[in-house]
A and B are shown apart, each in its own frame.
Chain A
């Protein structure tokens, strides 16, 4: 049943689906945008953390007396008292608040801690060395793996892996806390401004000195935030100590992590390593899959990867997983949790089997699409991708990547993601002067949330985008979900659409008499309200709003809604292809070109949607080629907790990138989240392209020069 809430049909959209520059672009590009890190409150103090230099140790003594006496120091707090067993390097030990950043740092240096060093494990790739740090899970089977393998004409066995990486948000984690009596304002760099205030209140409420603090006492403001990627959902120990310092001193306190702390403890993506065996018939049809995997997510071990990935319907499967606990900073959700790892393991193993069958991987993957949940979507995307990559010309059998020392190759990968809308309330206010506010307790991580809200409200009200003031980034606005898992765009677009329709209905009621009609006969378009089918009977938006007199309209829209309307969905498919050039003398891989073909239902803003894909592919190049937490098992320390040796790609390190959104094709499904899906395939596609170029598999990601050279040597191709 069509509903008034439904998205306007394609020919009737004036803003949705166009290429629109982000609303906050001018503020960001002029340096005016204020992030948590930029919040300077009058009389504010700066706090710094002391973190454990050891991976595993027991604190035997901690003495803060000298720090307390240090110049400019206003407060010192022990976060890990004597007796605490620290489980990773970077573990929070104590904090100091002082008049300036430099004095806070001096104060931290004056804290004396004695440790009893305990044995540690910081590397997990060689699981045989993990001793008592492993937790194997029970074997899972589906169908009959043994007969599946005996039906196969070709069986491939291989070893694959993808390492842990960090989030490395450019704005480190942290916040400014400022109390006014029992009310606290938290300027936080967070993906969950509606959640962390409550979490803080819960902790404070359990302490005698602050037992009266309730969630309503904490207001969270996140006007801008400098990247989260899944690592910024919680209040964290540093958020709590910051608020406590502020309460105790009666002054605003800023605590932002230093870069090394950010890399050591503020988030990492679990690893996954696996021995995989799979078999297929001559025509490419996969008959059986078997794997034994292991991974770490820090002290808590690492969960089983969802493999076989995308090709989940392989009829016969046998799987085993081992969780390895390590003494390293704990895992946090990382853009598309578990999926990039699962794609790397699955797509690389499948690509190797295709090579064994002497099949073009494009044909091999298409042949097996019946084993996926959305074969038609993938097929259309693969064919489109092949055209954009010129796959037919560029693909060659393995090892025929050129005669010189520079070898070229192409590879591909498939991915999927849910992206279901989170809960969201939006308030639309229409004032008698014609101004409009859209208010949501949401946050824009740089994905374009603010812009999407503005577009939906303006489209619905028939006014220009500049006519809507989008007000987000404040927990005082109606609650909207945390921004993670590609759930935001579906949530905020739905609540904004519903609130806008309701508010417009109210406006129609107010102006109908003066147009000599009833509310149900009115439409809003091009900045006017007019009688449907009779544009001569109309009022400008301003004149219409003036009819409200002294009143304003204020309406709430909700997602999920009980009212009718089909505004969003979940579940998308995408494919990516990579072309690389490998220098077989130095082992250096360079990405020449990448193609992304992506479905995400109805796109609200094509420009920012494409940016999500470009950004995801570039992050993927970083992960595929450069990013690595380098640990020294001897000392248990991370050797590159800095941005000089924890490498991200620079502007010259990414090749040409082509993004093709499947616009129009799946619009009827409504809005589906996009942040995660394009971040999944890059490592797999790049690894496959390297295998195609040099004729041998580099088993583990990142594909650093040393590993490329080792693989060439082992494969007799050096």
Chain B
């Protein structure tokens, strides 16, 4: 008797991106497993945002490879896919929750249409069914159903982030990228949003890569952690281990700066 071995969802090897002589990110390698939440932490300029862009096919890396396991297929080189397939991937199997809701939502169409658009993009053509699924998802992110026909601009920052999450999760993606998903929000709003994300991601077994400068977010949300500085990963491991027993001097500094005095 042997347990079926699960295969990795994402494999990253020796990823590098340069802006002239400046290092964006360099020598980044890791595997991500289905349902796993990986945190990438660092100060601004540490390369974490550049890394996220390279991983999510928004920017082509200068070296290295990002392989993603498509449904029922082998690993594919994300950056070798045609643009059509990349865009399809982003609308179906992937999700991206942006820091600024303006980058992730369409402000000219209703909240419900923002969620419905992803379903329509993958071929849904029955209005009633789309409506039902949108309603269901707005409930799951704890938004009022009565407001589904309102424009995103009429919602609070926290609600806009919930809407982004619903828009991304409605197609049941297997991998979601999150770029500072809670920054700029009030502390209490932040806590409730993080709680929601953790519950949804856990229940649906969605793999996530969460980029943040906030160790509180990392502690609450992620299983594993990479600490970046100057474009390189200086330490990685299980989140609790890295935060409780940091090995690298930089991580020690980072951790100590948030410790309550």
Asked if chains A and B come from one complex, the reply is no
